[in-house]
Chain A
């Protein structure tokens, strides 16, 4: 399968934080959920992909092109929503339309205006008069209106109510319908992703700890709930992490089928991305 984004051994060092050998690929036509707790390195990774910050890497390719050498070409074809970074708020959607016409060769004013109407955003009102949800929608439709092939979104749904979130998720689903477009979507609200993400990449403390198709993850991974006695009989190799709760042990396993054949434990729950995040981060090895 052709990859639209390829990252190999991406490193970036700050005084108090470090990205360590971040490696993952985003196949064409797919939505990838990029998850991790606050401060895990999601935004830093995205900024490095976009060359907003300088990084060391073995490979960083978008559309098969080098992210630095072919920066201009790449940026013509990506749409970006960054957390809290946008046009100055004294501008209006009309101003944005006018400005973007001169920035993107493929800017589609008609599409932009249709989106404005669809989401009831007044084209002559300054951005500062918009609510948080309205601003986010404006940022997203601005990222979409030049027909990009890849959307890179940093926390596009954070701070929004469920209705606005659903509307925004629907926009993304429509966007990838034709099969040529892809989305890299960072969030810590993992419930958004279970419905739409084809792949999940999980970053913790600057390291990628998992990058897999969502189906594979949700079908194979599971949480075993058992007593202390049962837990002590389980081989360490057969689980990833565990945590002790008030009444039982919760054990994160990678393959439910294999586990069932080996052990006689009946309670194996389906996993949610939230469970996965909590156990991966807080659980013991």
Chain B
């Protein structure tokens, strides 16, 4: 399995220059625009991981991988592990950058706020990716890309529509009541969501023919 992880990391590495430029650009935006830099994490993680699927698809890697030992078991697993590894690395970089930006802008560092904001973003990113992976494994990256765009659009539209008619104070109250446990709840929820998504993707991949 380590071989498969190495393969994804090697692909990400070959895009290092582009990633570096993006990081610098976002940092500058964070410095001047006081934008929440944890947004970088979500955006870049999704972009990086989707690009690995695109490269895999273009060169029919999945079919080739099945000729290698241990592939059915490890192909999907390694993708999830790479994703988590990458989110961790990007998180660490983002936290360091957030400290720097926060210090330069307001001369103090609000640790708690940065960590909570990071945790929210990590949770959001994992949620999006966990939702996307089974769709990508089922339909392939090309179709999935259009499908995901459509579904996100639909969800936003439904959300927007409902928010006009529903009383959101209940949700706000609920969130406030669990505020003290929010970090713990988000971590547990993340683990459950990623695990369920992994199991679904694994099942899809095991049945897949190339």
B139 within 8 A of A: no
Which secondary structure dominates where chain B touches chain A? helix
A191 within 8 A of B: no
A80 to B4, CA, bound (A): 17
Report if A75-B67 is in contact (Cβ < 8 Å); known contacts: A87-B7, A100-B3, A102-B2. Answer: yes
Report if A50-B66 is in contact (Cβ < 8 Å); known contacts: A95-B7, A102-B2. Answer: yes
**Contact residue among B58, B66, B70, B209 (Cβ-Cβ distance under 8 Å from A89):** B58
Report if A104-B55 is in contact (Cβ < 8 Å); known contacts: A52-B63, A53-B210, A91-B14. Answer: no
A52 to B72, CA, bound (A): 9
Name the residue of chain A whose CB is nearest to the CB of B207.
Answer: A54
Interface residues of B in 37-68 (CB under 8 A from A): 55-56, 58-61, 63-64, 66-68
A100 to B60, CA, bound (A): 17
A109 within 8 A of B: no
B2 contacts A91, CB within 8 Å? Answer: no
A147 to B60, CA, bound (A): 24
Residues on the A chain within 8 Å of B71, using CB: 75
A79 to B42, CA, bound (A): 40
Name the residue of chain B whose CB is nearest to the CB of A77.
Answer: B69
B6 within 8 A of A: yes
Interface residues of A in 78-97 (CB under 8 A from B): 78, 80, 82, 84-91, 95
B3 contacts A102, CB within 8 Å? Answer: yes
Interface residues of B in 94-137 (CB under 8 A from A): none
B11 within 8 A of A: yes
B10 contacts A103, CB within 8 Å? Answer: no
Residues on the A chain within 8 Å of B56, using CB: 88
Residues on the B chain within 8 Å of A53, using CB: 209-210
CB distance from A198 to the nearest CB of B (A): 24
Interface residues of B in 75-95 (CB under 8 A from A): none
Residues on the B chain within 8 Å of A103, using CB: 3-4, 68-70
A85 contacts B3, CB within 8 Å? Answer: no
A101 within 8 A of B: yes
A98 within 8 A of B: yes
A76 within 8 A of B: yes
A207 within 8 A of B: no
Residues on the B chain within 8 Å of A95, using CB: 6-7, 10
Residues on the A chain within 8 Å of B63, using CB: 47, 52, 82, 85
B59 contacts A85, CB within 8 Å? Answer: yes
Residues on the B chain within 8 Å of A264, using CB: none
CB distance from A112 to the nearest CB of B (A): 14
Residues on the A chain within 8 Å of B72, using CB: 71
Give B contacts to A, CB under 8 Å: 2-4, 6-7, 10-11, 14-15, 55-56, 58-61, 63-64, 66-72, 209-210
Give A contacts to B, CB under 8 Å: 47, 50-54, 71-72, 75-76, 78, 80, 82, 84-91, 95, 98-104, 126, 152
Using A90-B14, A95-B10, A103-B68 as known contacts, list a sample of 16 further A-B pairs with CB atoms less than 8 Å apart, ordered by residue number in A. A51-B66, A52-B67, A75-B69, A75-B71, A84-B60, A86-B59, A86-B61, A87-B7, A88-B11, A88-B58, A91-B10, A91-B11, A98-B6, A99-B4, A99-B6, A99-B10
What 4 A-B pairs have minimum CB-CB distances, sorted nearest first?
A102-B3, A103-B3, A88-B55, A80-B67
